[in-house]
Structure 1
Amino acid sequence: MASRLRTGTALLGATAALAFTALPAHADVTITPDRGGQESGHTVTLLPVGNIKDPNELEQGTAVIKLRIEDDEKRSNVFTYCVELPTPLEDADSLKEATWGTHPNPKSKFPVNAGKVLWVLQNSYPGKSMDFIHEKYGDQFDKKETIAATQAAIWHFSDEAKLDPNKNSDDVMKLYERLIKDGAENEIKDQPKPTLEIDPASKSGKSGEKIGPFTITTTASEVKLTADLPDGVTVTKANGDPIAVEKKDKKAQELAVKDTGNKVTEFFVNVPEKQPTGSATFNLSAEAEIAIGRLFVQRNKDPRNPEAQSLVVAQPQKAKVEKEAKVDWKLEVKPSEPTKPSETPSSTPSSPAPTSSSATPTPAPGGGGDDDLAETGASILWPLVGGLVLVGAGVGALFVVRRKKATA
């Protein structure tokens, strides 16, 4: 059983994968329109506003826009409101989760007023029940009036739109004005946590380093982090302590980051000092909550349809989501130092090294030897000639002595 280690307020547990598997592809939360069963509100009439050029577009339908999470076997729905006038939502539009500051329309006021929009969403339908609406604002409002007033209040903050008091019902106007007033006074400063986010998505380092931190931010209560790590490379906490892992395979590891809901968790990749150059890919997967107030923008811009509606989540919904992160490291090899010559003087003088001669060596007598053989000593020719001379001299002296004796 994997041990649990406390990091701040988050508990980190770990379990092992039975065998390593191919990592799934990177996947954000994406949604597409699902018109079936969508709840509509009353049509509202706006006063002239800068981003609406056609007077006919001053009349706008309202609805709690229903969308379907892509690649979800449960066909889960996400309920949203519009935050971009007058762009229509097309059935072919596909939208992905984004942060408040990444609204694609540079003229939109949503990034600066997103906290006011969030307050409206958290205090109106469908984020709150109609019973809550009746208790807080009055029991005269029906669902269609509530949806119309809520959408109009959101457009007020996102697009500077205003309702025409002469062309909308008194109940819609009353609830709309109350939501605007309360939203402006109770602005929420912190945006809701993303469904699943890791920062940075990639990081480089050196062998012998603790590479990181990698920061996980999510609404999930548990995140599974799967990695194919080389032997010796570990995942650690900020203080360097390894996150306990039960290894049933030499490479594959599955880490469970527990109780991370609405928290931030960090991990590091600890690479041993002499670890060869390499890399690893982490896959994070979770079933997390798409929080109220999260922004969804167009995923892929189609040149034929360069604009798509931007939507904000009005009711929380669970979704399966995956993210990838990568880490790589290099082993730096230090150049070896040259050996220093000894400074101690030698007592024995060294003989000069023999020098090679460029002269052609004299062949051995007889001329029958191998010309390629090198002479390894002095030639024996001259000692032999000297010996013959001495022998001849001795023979000559003996002959002279005998001749004198014979004459006497």
Structure 2
Amino acid sequence: MSGILLRCAALLSASALIGTLTTAPAAADDFSRLDRDPVAGLPVVLTDGDEVDTALFSLRVADEDSVRAYALVVDEEVRPRTAYVESAWADRPEWTVTPGDSAPAHRANWVVSNSYPNVPLPVLGAASGVLFLEETHAIAATQAALWNVLDGVELDPDTNHPDVMTLYAYLVEGSADAESGTTSPSVEVSPAQTEAVAPEEPLGPLTVSSAGEGPVRLSLRGAPASWLVDAEGEEISQAHDGDEVYLDVDPSVPAGVVTLHLRGSDVPLEEGRLFTGREGVRTQPLITAEPGSATSSTSATFTWRGEEPRGETTEEPEPETAGPEAPEVRELPSPEPVVEDTPTPEAQDRNTESGLALTGTWLSGLLVIAGALVVSGLLILVLGRKRRD
């Protein structure tokens, strides 16, 4: 009994461990946060008369590295404690699909690539026609230009500082001809979802993309009887840019869902990258304003299920119930013709005295009694032999 209890306890402990592993949260450094107070820019006045503060934020994108970033919309609050993750510009169609003109995302990328802090203040001042450009003016003009191309905001030319208006006009007009500029996330996997029915071969492939030359770490969460393999079927735990990844599934597992996590360290992060709230949390989206190195991560899912039964299988039992063949087999020939033969006078006398007709039912009863007697005799012989033994 103690052995059974020990085996049950071991099974419960293993189940708890598997549950912990499959539901474990992502590592703390798989996301970014605002790490210190922003640098304030000069407030700007919009055409509707509202005065809005401007700022240059600092976004921690790795264990020790930070990059500076701007806000993208006017009326969204920046939540300092919110976790940020790198996102794809393609996920925001309002910024990437604009027929006829340059897409807002391309224009925003041009603004941060050609403004402060990516461009030093003296160089930016000379390019825009502003002598002795101050940091607060550069921050205000850059932030207002981003609001213009992404959020349609206009500055009041009569109220704002002349240097702010000059740099603002330079950035808005220069970005109008931007044809491209946005890049893919620093670590990406495609496709993000893979499904299969009763797979006989490994699921995939998924293609890994990375802006860095170093390896991307791979890990799985989900069904335990599955392994990551390469195109040759060799088990792997990391990949490089352009590598293909497959999921090998144990055939004994009929269905499951596995999440593939990818994590790259010290991945180059260019200016113009989009960062949004992790897991859809609403917060002010940010755009990086200078290059740096980041700890970047992403994920994809593998899904498989058993083969569904075909439509013909539901019709196979039909021949068993169709047709009158079964009732015809159960109907035995009636013994009545034999009984209907003319009885002898002695038989007539016996029928009259007993009040029973000589029918098939009467004969069947005799047969049943005779069979019972035979079976009883056999049982008596068997029991007697067992006793003698």
CA distance in 1, matches of 2:157, 2:226: 70
Number of residue pairs the alignment of both structures matches? 298
Partner of 1:46: 46
Percent sequence identity over matched residues?
26
Residue 200 of structure 1 corresponds to which residue in structure 2? 192
User: 1 CA distance for matches of 2:228 and 2:79?
Assistant: 47
Q: In the alignment, what sits opposite 2:289?
A: 314
The aligned residue for residue 156 of structure 2 is 164
Give 1:197's aligned amino acid.
Answer: E
Alpha carbons of 1:84 and 1:104: their partners in 2 closer, same or farther (altered >3 Å)?
A: farther
CA RMSD of aligned residues (A): 4.3
Deviation at 1:81, TM superposition (A): 0.8
CA contact (8 A) 1:26 1:324 kept: no
Structure 2 residue runs of 5 or longer lacking an equivalent are 1-19, 311-366, 382-389
Q: Does 1:269 align with 2:247?
A: yes
Cα distance in 1, alignment partners of residues 373 and 157 from structure 2: 126
In structure 2, distance between residues paired with 1:332 and 1:92:
46
Whether the 8 Å CA contact 2:141–2:168 is kept in 1: the answer is yes
The answer as to whether partners of 1:236 and 1:268 remain within 8 angstroms in 2 is: yes
Cα distance in 2, alignment partners of residues 281 and 300 from structure 1: 15
Tell me, what secondary structure is at the counterpart of 2:289?
strand
Q: Which residue of 2 aligns with 1:371?
A: 377
Partner of residue 122 from structure 1, selected from 113, 135, 140:
113
Give, as a single letter, the amino acid of the residue that structure 1 aligns with 2:272. Answer: G
Residue 136 of structure 1 is matched in structure 2 by 127
CA–CA separation in structure 2 for the residues paired with 1:362 and 1:86: 97
Q: Which amino acid counterpart does residue 254 of structure 2 have in structure 1?
A: T
- Report deviation, 1:130: 3.1
- CA drift of 1:115 comes to 0.9
Give the superposition deviation at 1:193.
1.7
Tell me the distance in 1 between the aligned counterparts of 2:224 and 2:276.
38
Flag the structure with more relative contact order, 1 or 2, with Cα contacts below 8 A and sequence separation at least 6. Answer: 1
Contact 1:234–1:271, Cα closer than 8 Å, also in 2: no
Amino acid at match of 2:147: W
The alpha-carbon deviation at position 276 of structure 1 amounts to: 5.4
2:194 and 2:204 in contact (8 A); partners too:
no
Q: Does 1:85 align with 2:74?
A: yes
**Structure 2 Cα separation of the partners of residues 230 and 326 of structure 1:** 14
Tell me the equivalent position of 1:291: 270
Secondary structure in 1 aligned to 2:184? coil
Query: How far, CA to CA, are the matches of 1:81 and 1:130 in structure 2?
Result: 17
- Residue identity in the other structure for 1:204: A
TM normalised by structure 2 equals 0.61
Of 134-143 and 324-333, the range deviating more from structure 2: 324-333
Contact 1:83/1:159 (<8 A) preserved:
yes
Q: Which secondary structure state, in structure 1, belongs to the residue aligned with residue 70 of structure 2?
A: strand
Larger CA deviation: 95-104 vs 192-201: 95-104
Read off the aligned partner of 2:239 and give its amino acid letter. V
Match of residue 236 from structure 1 = 230
Structure-1 separation of matches of 2:378 and 2:268: 91
Take 1:197 and 1:39, find their aligned partners in 2: how far apart are those partners? Answer: 31
Amino acid at match of 1:184: A
For 1:363 and 1:30, locate their aligned partners in 2 and report how far apart those are by CA, in whole Å.
88
Q: Deviations over 1:146-183 (max 9, x none)?
A: 22211111111112122222122222222211111110
Q: What amino acid sits opposite 2:32 in the alignment?
A: I
What whole-Å deviation, never above 9, does each CA across 1:270-322 have from its counterpart, x for those lacking one?
569x66536555332211344322223334778xxxx6322222123323244
TM norm structure 1: 0.59
2:69 counterpart letter in structure 1: T
Report the equivalent of 2:315: none
Between the aligned partners of 1:197 and 1:168, the Cα distance in structure 2 is 42
Paired residue for 2:178?
A: 186
- In the alignment, which residue of structure 2 is the partner of 1:226? 219
Kept in 2, the 8 Å contact 1:200–1:215? The answer is no
Deviation at 1:358?
Answer: 4.7
Q: Report the Cα offset of residue 269 of structure 1.
A: 3.2
SS at match of 1:158: helix
The CA distance in 2 between the partners of 1:324 and 1:102, in whole Å, is: 15
Secondary structure of the equivalent of 2:378? coil
Shift of 1:31: 3.4
Which amino acid in the other structure matches residue 56 of structure 2? V
| Cα drift, residue 105 of structure 1 | 9.0
Tell me, in whole angstroms, the C-alpha distance in 1 between the residues paired with 2:91 and 2:309.
Answer: 45
Larger helix share, 1 or 2: 2
- SS of residue in 2 equivalent to 1:156: helix
Larger radius of gyration: 1
Q: Cα gap change, 1:301/1:100 in structure 2, threshold over 3 Å: closer, same or farther?
A: closer
Residue 233 of structure 1, CA deviation: 6.0
Flag the 1:233–1:92 CA change in 2: closer, same or farther, 3 A: closer
- CA gap of 1:80–1:330, structure 2 versus 1, over 3 A, is same
Deviation at residue 117 of structure 1 after TM alignment: 0.6
Distance in 2 (CA, whole Å) between partners of 1:158 and 1:152 is 10
